[in-house]
Amino acid sequence: MIINLKNKDTLQVDEFHFRCSIGKKGLSQEKLEGDLKTPKGIYQFNTLYFRSDRLEKPKTKLNVIKIKENMGWCNDIRYPKKYNKLIKIDKKVSHEKMFRFDKKYDFVIPIKYNYKNPMINKGSAIFFHLSNSYKPTAGCIALNLNDFLIFLKLLDKVNKIKIY
Protein backbone atom coordinates (compact mmCIF):
# COMPACT_ATOMS: atom_id res chain seq x y z
CA MET A 1 0.00 0.00 0.00
CA ILE A 2 1.23 3.46 -0.91
CA ILE A 3 0.18 6.35 1.29
CA ASN A 4 -0.21 9.57 -0.67
CA LEU A 5 0.39 13.11 0.45
CA LYS A 6 -1.40 14.80 -2.41
CA ASN A 7 -1.24 18.41 -1.34
CA LYS A 8 -0.49 20.59 1.65
CA ASP A 9 -3.43 19.36 3.69
CA THR A 10 -4.58 15.90 2.56
CA LEU A 11 -3.06 12.53 3.40
CA GLN A 12 -4.74 9.57 1.68
CA VAL A 13 -4.51 5.99 2.96
CA ASP A 14 -6.72 3.69 0.87
CA GLU A 15 -10.21 5.20 1.19
CA PHE A 16 -9.28 7.28 4.24
CA HIS A 17 -8.53 10.98 3.81
CA PHE A 18 -6.84 12.73 6.72
CA ARG A 19 -6.36 16.42 7.21
CA CYS A 20 -2.69 17.17 7.80
CA SER A 21 -0.12 19.93 7.79
CA ILE A 22 3.28 20.04 6.08
CA GLY A 23 6.32 22.31 5.94
CA LYS A 24 5.69 26.04 6.14
CA LYS A 25 7.30 26.58 2.70
CA GLY A 26 5.54 23.65 1.01
CA LEU A 27 7.01 20.69 -0.87
CA SER A 28 10.45 20.49 -2.48
CA GLN A 29 12.59 18.23 -4.66
CA GLU A 30 15.67 20.02 -3.30
CA LYS A 31 15.33 19.76 0.48
CA LEU A 32 17.96 21.52 2.62
CA GLU A 33 18.48 21.56 6.38
CA GLY A 34 16.27 24.21 7.97
CA ASP A 35 14.45 25.28 4.76
CA LEU A 36 10.96 24.57 6.25
CA LYS A 37 10.06 22.35 3.26
CA THR A 38 8.70 18.81 3.15
CA PRO A 39 10.73 16.61 0.78
CA LYS A 40 9.03 15.17 -2.31
CA GLY A 41 9.61 11.48 -3.05
CA ILE A 42 8.69 7.97 -1.98
CA TYR A 43 9.87 6.92 1.46
CA GLN A 44 9.56 4.06 3.92
CA PHE A 45 8.60 4.49 7.54
CA ASN A 46 10.75 3.99 10.56
CA THR A 47 9.98 3.03 14.13
CA LEU A 48 7.18 4.62 16.12
CA TYR A 49 8.46 6.52 19.16
CA PHE A 50 6.00 7.44 21.90
CA ARG A 51 5.71 9.09 25.30
CA SER A 52 4.69 6.27 27.62
CA ASP A 53 4.21 8.74 30.48
CA ARG A 54 1.37 10.37 28.50
CA LEU A 55 -0.09 7.71 26.20
CA GLU A 56 -0.57 3.98 26.08
CA LYS A 57 1.38 1.93 23.58
CA PRO A 58 -0.82 2.02 20.46
CA LYS A 59 -1.86 -0.85 18.25
CA THR A 60 0.49 -0.86 15.28
CA LYS A 61 2.61 -3.23 13.21
CA LEU A 62 5.59 -0.88 13.45
CA ASN A 63 8.40 -1.38 15.93
CA VAL A 64 7.65 0.77 18.98
CA ILE A 65 10.14 2.50 21.30
CA LYS A 66 9.43 4.59 24.40
CA ILE A 67 10.88 8.09 24.25
CA LYS A 68 13.36 8.82 27.03
CA GLU A 69 14.44 12.24 28.28
CA ASN A 70 17.95 11.83 26.84
CA MET A 71 16.83 11.11 23.26
CA GLY A 72 17.45 13.51 20.41
CA TRP A 73 17.57 13.43 16.61
CA CYS A 74 20.80 14.91 15.24
CA ASN A 75 20.45 17.83 12.84
CA ASP A 76 24.03 19.04 13.27
CA ILE A 77 25.92 19.23 9.96
CA ARG A 78 29.24 19.21 11.89
CA TYR A 79 28.72 15.56 12.87
CA PRO A 80 28.32 13.46 9.70
CA LYS A 81 28.29 10.13 11.57
CA LYS A 82 25.39 11.24 13.77
CA TYR A 83 23.50 13.38 11.24
CA ASN A 84 19.83 12.42 10.79
CA LYS A 85 20.03 9.68 13.41
CA LEU A 86 18.64 9.07 16.88
CA ILE A 87 21.28 10.09 19.45
CA LYS A 88 21.79 10.38 23.16
CA ILE A 89 21.60 14.12 23.80
CA ASP A 90 24.97 15.84 23.89
CA LYS A 91 24.98 19.61 24.51
CA LYS A 92 27.74 20.03 21.90
CA VAL A 93 25.62 18.46 19.14
CA SER A 94 22.60 20.29 17.69
CA HIS A 95 19.52 18.08 17.79
CA GLU A 96 15.76 17.88 17.77
CA LYS A 97 14.66 16.99 21.30
CA MET A 98 12.40 13.93 21.26
CA PHE A 99 11.10 14.29 24.86
CA ARG A 100 9.17 17.54 24.44
CA PHE A 101 6.95 19.53 26.76
CA ASP A 102 4.44 20.24 24.01
CA LYS A 103 2.62 17.14 22.78
CA LYS A 104 3.90 17.14 19.17
CA TYR A 105 6.15 14.14 19.70
CA ASP A 106 3.92 12.12 21.99
CA PHE A 107 3.74 9.93 18.86
CA VAL A 108 6.44 10.41 16.23
CA ILE A 109 7.52 8.32 13.22
CA PRO A 110 10.67 9.28 11.32
CA ILE A 111 10.33 8.75 7.58
CA LYS A 112 13.35 7.34 5.79
CA TYR A 113 14.26 10.52 3.96
CA ASN A 114 18.05 11.09 3.62
CA TYR A 115 18.34 8.08 5.87
CA LYS A 116 20.60 5.26 4.73
CA ASN A 117 23.75 7.23 3.95
CA PRO A 118 22.64 10.71 4.99
CA MET A 119 24.04 13.59 3.02
CA ILE A 120 24.98 16.52 5.23
CA ASN A 121 22.67 19.55 4.90
CA LYS A 122 20.06 17.67 2.81
CA GLY A 123 17.61 17.64 5.70
CA SER A 124 17.05 15.66 8.86
CA ALA A 125 14.32 14.82 11.36
CA ILE A 126 11.50 14.52 8.81
CA PHE A 127 8.78 13.05 10.98
CA PHE A 128 5.11 12.19 11.18
CA HIS A 129 4.03 13.81 14.44
CA LEU A 130 1.01 15.23 16.21
CA SER A 131 -0.71 18.57 15.70
CA ASN A 132 -3.67 20.09 17.45
CA SER A 133 -3.81 23.19 15.25
CA TYR A 134 -2.63 22.15 11.76
CA LYS A 135 -0.11 24.98 11.76
CA PRO A 136 2.66 24.50 9.18
CA THR A 137 5.64 22.45 10.33
CA ALA A 138 9.41 22.77 9.87
CA GLY A 139 9.19 20.09 7.13
CA CYS A 140 7.35 17.26 8.85
CA ILE A 141 3.84 15.91 8.31
CA ALA A 142 1.44 16.36 11.22
CA LEU A 143 -1.93 14.78 12.04
CA ASN A 144 -4.30 15.20 14.96
CA LEU A 145 -4.24 12.51 17.66
CA ASN A 146 -7.40 10.65 16.60
CA ASP A 147 -6.31 10.49 12.95
CA PHE A 148 -2.80 9.44 14.00
CA LEU A 149 -4.24 6.49 15.94
CA ILE A 150 -6.27 5.38 12.89
CA PHE A 151 -3.21 5.90 10.68
CA LEU A 152 -1.13 3.64 12.97
CA LYS A 153 -3.66 0.82 12.63
CA LEU A 154 -3.47 1.02 8.83
CA LEU A 155 0.31 1.21 8.67
CA ASP A 156 2.81 -1.63 8.49
CA LYS A 157 6.56 -1.92 7.93
CA VAL A 158 6.30 -2.32 4.14
CA ASN A 159 4.10 0.73 3.52
CA LYS A 160 5.62 3.71 1.78
CA ILE A 161 4.56 7.31 1.56
CA LYS A 162 4.51 9.17 -1.74
CA ILE A 163 4.92 12.92 -1.27
CA TYR A 164 4.23 14.87 -4.46
Tell me how far apart the alpha carbons of residues 109 and 105 are, in angstroms, rounded to a whole number. 9
Q: What is the pLDDT of residues 81-121, one digit of tens each?
A: 999 999 999 999 999 999 999 999 999 999 999 999 999 99
Tell me how far apart the alpha carbons of residues 59 and 156 are, in angstroms, rounded to a whole number. 11
Helix (H) or strand (E) holding 95: strand 95-97
Query: What residues pair up with 49 in beta bridges, in sequence order?
Result: 65, 108
Domain residue extents for the chain: 2-163
CATH number, span 2-163: 2.40.440.10
Q: Helices (H), strands (E): how many in the chain?
A: 1, 15
Q: How many CB atoms lie within 10 A of CB 156?
A: 12
Q: What is the pLDDT of residues 111-146, one digit of tens each?
A: 999 999 999 999 999 999 999 999 999 999 999 999
- How far is the CA of 119 from the CAs of 16, 23, 113, in angstroms? 34, 20, 10
Would you put residue 29 in left (φ > 0), alpha (ψ -120 to 50) or beta? alpha
